[in-house]
């Protein structure tokens, strides 16, 4: 990549404060910016580095008022954090090539329908009657079962396993070794103390613009569909059980576990290692702190919850001030 400050400002709808001809060829963190690099400053905790950074260009908020001289050219934007995401996406898109490729050691069943300029790596397998949309990349060692539907512009990284009958929308990214569509954890107790497996006949439906982290598992439903709605982002090592529904634009950090038939609303934020019990409903715009346990339905929208069992954050902090000293 090679960009001038004025070109970056044009891409980001920003304004140049400094030399519009300043040229960058790489990205860097603001703590370690070097000549030829572009950095961004969005968190006030890092302001000290703005004055010592050696990068040629720094993306900053329009409201930023330096307290000391800044040697780098600044590109002022409405939201520096969002702007760098836009720029990274722009650079990635320019590098991305769309060439039809099928590895000679891959296997695609004759009844499958493959769109234009689809990449299928070596040792990948695409089952009977499956459909792969245009410009999708199926990397090496991916298993796609029978009757799977995958949309356009998807990226399926190495080692992913997609069981038969799953449905995946457009612009979906699934990272390495994720498993989509394994049986849920369903067993019926018998009188002799053994457990009878309950067959799962449903599937998983993943809507558009979803990203799923490495080693995450999403189980298919007993009946109907486990549903991951548009714009959901799941981190690595998450467990989504059968018949779960995750609302649009909800995000989950690593090692979150959601038990069967739970329903999360739109734009929820779930911290790492949190656990959500089965058969409950979480209201829209709920934020759940890391390692929290949600045992009951959350009916009021917009709450911040913490603890196990979790309750509103302000109450938790007041309670913590008492119980942390209980043993003294």
Catalytic positions: 242
| Three-state SS sequence of 112-130 | CEECCCCEECCCCEECCCC
Positive or negative, the CA dihedral 184, 189, 193, 194 is: negative
Of 271, 264, 267, 256, whose CA–CA distance to 305 is shortest?
271
Q: How far apart are CA 268 and CA 261, in angstroms?
A: 17
What dihedral angle (degrees, nearest 10) is formed by the CA atoms of 76, 94, 228, 119?
Answer: -170
Strand partners, 298: 282
Q: How crowded is the C-beta side of 205, counted as CA atoms within 13 Å? A: 14
Q: The tokens of 85 are what?
A: 């995401």
Does the N-terminal peptide bond of residue 309 adopt cis geometry, omega within 30 degrees of 0?
yes
Tokens 């069981």 map to which residue?
163
Q: How many helices (H) and strands (E) does the chain have?
A: 4, 40
Angle 60-61-63 from CA coordinates, rounded to 5°: 130
Q: How far apart are CA 90 and CA 85, in angstroms?
A: 9
Q: The tokens of 112 are what?
A: 């499958």
Give the start-end residues of each E strand in 10-112.
15-17, 23-24, 26-27, 37-41, 57-61, 73-77, 101-102, 107-108
φ, ψ for residue 46 (rounded to 5)? -105, 15
């Amino acid at each position: 990549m090679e960009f001038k400050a004025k070109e970056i400002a044009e891409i980001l709808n920003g304004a140049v404060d400094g030399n519009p001809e300043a040229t960058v060829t790489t990205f860097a963190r603001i703590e370690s910016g070097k000549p030829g690099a572009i950095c961004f400053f969005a968190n006030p905790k890092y302001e000290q580095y703005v004055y010592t950074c050696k990068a040629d260009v720094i993306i900053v908020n329009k409201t930023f008022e330096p307290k000391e001289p800044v040697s780098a050219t600044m590109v002022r934007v409405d939201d520096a954090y969002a702007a760098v995401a836009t720029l990274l996406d722009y650079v990635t898109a320019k590098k991305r090539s769309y060439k039809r490729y099928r590895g000679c050691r891959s296997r695609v069943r004759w009844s499958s329908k493959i769109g234009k300029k689809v990449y299928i790596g070596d040792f990948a397998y695409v089952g009977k009657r499956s459909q792969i949309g245009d410009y999708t990349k199926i990397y090496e060692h991916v298993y796609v079962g029978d009757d799977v539907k995958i949309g356009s512009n998807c990226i399926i990284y190495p080692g992913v396993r997609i069981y038969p009958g799953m449905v995946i929308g457009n612009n979906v990214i699934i990272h390495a070794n994720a498993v989509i569509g394994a049986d849920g954890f369903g067993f019926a107790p018998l009188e002799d103390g053994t457990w009878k497996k309950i067959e799962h006949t449903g599937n998983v439906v993943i809507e558009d613009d979803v990203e799923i982290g490495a080693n995450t598992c999403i189980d298919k439903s007993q009946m109907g569909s486990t549903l991951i709605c548009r714009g959901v982002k799941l981190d690595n090592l998450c467990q989504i059980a059968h018949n779960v529904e995750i609302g649009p634009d909800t995000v989950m950090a690593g090692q979150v576990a959601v038990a069967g038939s739970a329903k999360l609303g739109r734009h929820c934020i779930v911290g790492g290692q949190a656990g959500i019990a089965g058969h409950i409903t979480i209201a829209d715009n709920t934020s759940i702190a890391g390692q929290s346990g949600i045992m009951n339905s959350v009916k009021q929208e917009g709450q911040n919850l913490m603890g196990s069992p979790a309750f509103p954050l302000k109450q938790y902090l007041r309670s913590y001030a008492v119980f942390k000293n209980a043993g003294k």
